Chain A
Amino acid sequence: MADFGLLSAILWFPLLGIAAIIITNRSRPDTIKVIALITALIDFILSILLLYRFDFTNANFQFVEKIPWLDVINSFYFLGVDGISVLFVPLSTLVTLLCILISWYSIEEKVKEFYLALLFTNIAMVGVFLSLDLLLFYVFWEALLIPMYLIIGIWGGPRRIYSTIKFFLYTFFGSIFMLAAIIYLFLQFGTFDYTLLIGKTFTPQVEKLLFLGFLLAFAVKVPMWPFHTWLPDAHTEAPTAGSVILAGILIKLGGYGMVRFLLPLFPQATLFFAKLILVLSVIAIIYAGLACLWQDDLKRLIAYSSVSHMGFVTLGIFSLNPIGINGAILQMINHGIVTGALFMCVGVIYDRTHSRAINYYGGLATTFPLYAALFMIFTLASIGLPGTNGFVGEFLILQGAFMKDKAMVIFAATGVIIGAAYMLWLYQRVFFEKPVSGVFNLPPLRWNELLSLIPMVLLIFLIGLYPNPFLDFMKTSVSKILANIP
């Protein structure tokens, strides 16, 4: 009884905050920030409640809400969570909460619009993970573009306009094909209901085309190797909060979509294309890893490392066995935490020095020790040192992929080494060596920065040392999804 409406509550609660912010006078930015913070905090608590009440022995959808939405075309307002999506909901609300905190002092102009856009992003992100109706899913998926377009374009860096238009058109272009595939599915089976579409069969030709339609949308979002060029630009130019949302949630949508839609809906095509995607993933891992070594911009380097890490995620998903997929989902969460935290760290230092160039820095460890320690933790988690969450995810993925295709793993594992190389080299260049003139007398970490970084540290060690509870959430659902694949 108490469960009914919980998902709607999580999804729509930020609307209250949006309404409150709209009626607040823009001359009182502090009030606006506090309202946004409280809204995001309550939404986060609600999503923790969801985790608490979630029954992870049950592979079916839980907390289901189904109300007719567009009768004419048989589309429903249909929400539900299973083990695959349940962890992403608190991750989304947590990322929003931390974004509000980290932007507390760094966003000074158009404060009202900024927090409106952040809360709107929250609704769209949570909506994507919750909706089980394909049309509803698409609506949230596209609606997310609006606030992200604004966040990158308004509060971003010097080349923000080029980046944001590239981001918008790229992702818009990708999703168009998903829309075509969704329409085709509807006309074939008369429903947008995800649960009813599972297990339907197609002719191989059609199935492959539909698979490619969905894949293009997800591949652009992930981003997979040939479609990745928007990501370094968008990441680099976005404000800190924008980068954190991009890294934390937005690019996870692609991976989530693959697990949620590609595997169960098109099992034959999945098998057909699995090899191709594995190859693309390995190319992404190595190519983006090598590209990282070239970068002279902090954010750009971390952005390319995202491409590389997401290559591991697609590798895990298309190894098509429970270990690989569990690892991939866990790795998506991990990557959201670690890369989000790294972007926050870059934001912290950028706010103080207004430079993102790696060679601007040097010797930060002596002048800014606490920050250096935190950055070290995130660097090690990004490399995948045992004891941090990155290790668990990458290990599971590589193990899963090894069972599928040994040659791939040999190549992919070199990606781990490249990863260690570029991250440690980055750390060495920025934090060690002789302090340069620009890094003395930096103001200490503020309360909001500490508050947003410390939860990330805790999560890194929690997942790294004791990943079982997290894996428990997804196990049953993942095996259910794999049941369709021969």
Chain B
Amino acid sequence: MVTLSLNFGSLALELFFLLSGIFIFMIDRFIKSKSYAFWLSFWVILGSMVFILFIPFGDFTRAFRIDFFSSSIKFLLLIGFFFVLLLSDTHLNNFPGLNFGEFYGLLFFSLFGIFVVLSSQDFLTLFIGLELMSIPLYFLIATQYVYRKESLEGALKYFIAGALSGGLYILFLGIVYYATGTIYFEEVSKRLAQGLLKKELLLGAVFFISALSIKLSLVPFHMWAPDAYEASPLPITAFLSGLIKFAVMAVLIKVLILAYSPLKIEIGKILIPISLLTILIGSLLAIRQDNLVRLLAYSSIAHVGYAVLGLVSGDFAGYGFSLFYMFVYLFTTIGSFGIMIYLVRANRGFLEIPNLAGICQNLPFISLLLLIFLFSLAGVPPTAGFMAKFYIFLMLVKSQYIGVAILALLVSVIGAYPYIRVIKVIYMDKGHLGYYKPTYPIFLAFSLIVATFIVILLGIYPRPMLDFIQRTLFLYISLQFLQL
């Protein structure tokens, strides 16, 4: 007999976000000065970062669970979200046409969705979480309409991709339910362990991976990414490429551990061609880009490809390296988008790479930071990007996927070219002097400094962070096996 536990304490944080979002929506029409929304979100997130440490572990029905894994990932995401907020403040002050309370309200709804995704214990809650996470983003991308009419196109593309993702997911859900009669992660895993239904569930896994591929922008579902990235306000792009992908990667890992662990080797084999193609196409298409945001969109495609390579062996250490990769990428994203927000403050044309020619003369500090982030994206030591890639390759060779590792290494040489090209433009091309030189708002400066610090620290001494992620995973896995 299964008893349902209704542990409202474990829902507290999610409810908190939902209420904050609703509150902002309700009072926004009555307040002229829009800075209240930012400060409210600021304190809510700071409070949640403390609060999450005290949330009791437990279930809310069988569908929703707070445990060590979800709390740790949520904590990392809250840190990332905090920086997205700081970037949003700077960007919205720059573009007052975007500056409405709804911007923050929608961000909260999306965060609410992410948290549901991370805590879900069955495939239906996961689906609801994914939709909750994505729907506010369709609006957020479209808010840029005030400044760029083409924005609607990007939002619509992302919406259609999201709808396709939903459709594929529903198909997967149907197959799983048809095959096993259950949608709970652990039940599916038990059915699999009995050795039946492998074919049906593997077919389901293909649909599942396709559905998540759209969120992660893996090839062949990557087409939306450049357009949606270019269409969005910059902080939303950072949110899309840093936080959403980190969360989806975390939940993919969770599903692989909880529901699909008997099939993880087979799923790994499905992922090999996907990730290699993703890296290759992302790197190749990045070469010709002249827009910084589109360049980073393709680079984001390629980077998720590397992170997925950590999953192919089915080794739990590899899962940890994937998460580490995504964490590094999250902070590289925050840093590079922070820089773009600064550049846009100086001149909107700075998002076109040729216009960046010779800006190191005028903006030496920001150029140096961009240099660090670009070398991190290219994976050159002593930056975090190198360490992240290094561990992924280590994992691949360890699991005897030497051919895959060598292919990925070769493509990473191609992948370095787009970044060193941008560095070339900034540092080596002749530019015109005398740009308007904006000040550094305190929040932007803070985010940039923290992101730079993390990117260099993780490149020189990644041990504590890696330990944290690996221990979280191992603790989680060992707990699961104890329950089984």
Contacts and interface: CB of A to CB of B under 8 A. Distances in A.
Interface stretch (B153-161, B252-260, B420-428): B420-428
Interface residues of A, number: 37
A399 to B, nearest CB: 40
A72 interface: yes
A421 interface: no
Contacts of B467: 71-72
Interface string A135-151: 10011101101100110
A26 interface: yes
Contact of A169 (B413, B423, B466, B470): B413
B349 interface: no
B276 to A, nearest CB: 16
Interface stretch (A54-62, A158-166, A258-266, A384-392): A158-166
Nearest to B405: A180
Contact of B381 (A110, A139, A154, A177): A139
B415 to A, nearest CB: 10
Best-surrounded residue of A138, A172, A183 (most CB of chain B within 10 A) = A183
A179 interface: yes
B360 interface: yes
A189 interface: no
A187 B394 contact: yes
B403 to A, nearest CB: 11
Contact of A173 (B413, B421, B423, B466): B413
Contacts of B428: 153-154, 160-161, 164
A143 B382 contact: yes
A71 B465 CA distance: 12
B409 A112 contact: no
Interface in A149-205: 149-150, 153-154, 160-161, 164-165, 168-169, 172-173, 176-177, 179-180, 183-184, 186-187
B421 A165 contact: yes
A70 interface: yes
A180 B389 CA distance: 12
B319 to A, nearest CB: 14
A26 B240 CA distance: 38
A168 B386 CA distance: 16
A164 B416 CA distance: 13
B420 to A, nearest CB: 6
B360 A187 contact: no
Interface in A110-146: 110, 112-113, 135, 138-140, 142-143, 145-146
B97 interface: no
Nearest to A162: B424
B386 A139 contact: yes
A146 B393 contact: no
Contacts of B402: 180, 184
Best-surrounded residue of A73, A112, A140 (most CB of chain B within 10 A) = A73
B221 interface: no
B470 A72 contact: yes
A69 interface: yes
B148 interface: no
Instruction: Tell me if A's interface is mostly helix, strand, loop or mixed.
Output: helix
B364 interface: yes
Contacts of A149: 420, 423
A150 B427 contact: yes
Contacts of B406: 180
B7 to A, nearest CB: 35
A146 B375 contact: yes
Instruction: Tell me if B's interface is mostly helix, strand, loop or mixed.
Output: helix
B159 to A, nearest CB: 39
Contacts of B420: 149, 165, 168-169
B413 A165 contact: no
B56 interface: no
A139 B382 contact: yes
B364 A179 contact: no
B416 A143 contact: no
Nearest to A181: B397
Contacts of A183: 390, 393-394, 397, 405
Interface in B349-404: 360-361, 364, 375, 380-382, 386, 390-391, 393-394, 397-398, 402
Contact of A172 (B360, B382, B413, B463): B413
A154 B463 contact: no
B412 interface: yes
Nearest to A160: B428
A108 to B, nearest CB: 13
A146 B380 contact: yes
B386 to A, nearest CB: 7
A176 B412 contact: yes
A153 B424 contact: yes
Contact of A112 (B364, B390, B391, B423): B364
B475 interface: no
B42 interface: no
A69 B412 contact: no
A169 B397 contact: no
Nearest to A73: B394
Contact of B463 (A71, A135, A153, A168): A71
B417 interface: yes
A26 B364 contact: yes
A165 B380 contact: no
Nearest to B391: A73
B58 interface: no
B398 A165 contact: no
Interface string B160-178: 0000000000000000000
Contact of A143 (B380, B417, B466): B380
B410 interface: yes
Interface of B: 360-361, 364, 375, 380-382, 386, 390-391, 393-394, 397-398, 402, 405-406, 409-410, 412-413, 416-417, 420-421, 423-424, 427-429, 461-463, 466-467, 470
Given A26-B364, A113-B360, A154-B428, 5 more contacts: A138-B381, A139-B382, A142-B386, A169-B413, A180-B405
List the 8 closest A-B pairs by CB distance, nearest first. A139-B381, A153-B428, A176-B409, A142-B381, A183-B397, A173-B413, A187-B398, A143-B381
9 contacts: A69-B463, A70-B462, A139-B381, A139-B382, A139-B386, A176-B412, A183-B390, A183-B397, A184-B397
